[in-house]
Amino acid sequence: MIGTTLLLAMLQAPQVDAVRPPAMPAAIASTVGAPGSIAPKHVVAPTDTPVVRPRAVEYSDLYYTRLTIHRWGSYTMIPLFAAEYSVGQNLMRDASPATWMKPAHGVVAGGIGVLFGVNTITGVWNLWESREDPSGRTRRIVHSVMMLAADAGFFATGLLAPERDDEGFTNYSKYLHRERVHRGVAIGSIALSTIGGGMLWFWK
């Protein structure tokens, strides 16, 4: 009798749904996957990542003044090279060159020396001031190295210049050899400086 009463009470009791876990937000559920499966982990980048901005590099007014002088000097070197080469060729080929040619050759060579002195000072100064600027740094360094090498070449050209009345050049074959070396070093220095100057003209 008691057992029958308990059985009826259980049958008449309200049905209780199974306890369900609280629903996950859609954003989290999409990363978890179906129950019993291993979902891939998604790395979400933080939205507060700091942005690294390039540091501004400021140039002085003197920098641009030196740059203008340097640029105009590089334009001037081409006609000076042409004049020096022409006079030098005549001095080498003519058996009796005009009396004005040798002094003219020296004057033009002196002009090239002054020009390269000014451009060396302005160029090295500006290279130092632009040392913190990464933009175009490789081109600036390559240009500077080439022009400094040309400086050394022109200095060597002057030292190698032969003189017909030098005591050590009574042998004409030795004189001709010295003359050829002088000419070769000069042409090499002109070519090197022209290429280095072209970098300034075309790449600014």
Q: What pLDDT band is residue 201 in, cutting at 50, 70 and 90?
A: confident
Within 8 A by CB and 6+ apart from 132, the residues are 55, 57
Question: What are 41-85's pLDDT values in tens digits?
Answer: 555 555 556 655 656 778 899 999 999 999 999 999 999 999 999
Question: What are 146-194's pLDDT values in tens digits?
Answer: 999 999 999 999 998 887 655 555 677 888 888 899 999 999 999 999 9
Q: What pLDDT band is residue 7 in, cutting at 50, 70 and 90?
A: very low
2 or 108, which is more confident: 108
Within a 10 A sphere around the Cβ of 126, how many other Cβ atoms? 22
Terminal CA-CA length for the chain: 109
Burial grade of 58 (CB within 10 A; 0-12, 13-18, 19 or more): exposed
Within a 10 A sphere around the Cβ of 157, how many other Cβ atoms? 24
140 or 42, which is more confident: 140
Read off the pTM: 0.67
| For range 122-132, the mean pLDDT | 94
- Joined together, the tokens standing for residue 119 give 């451009």
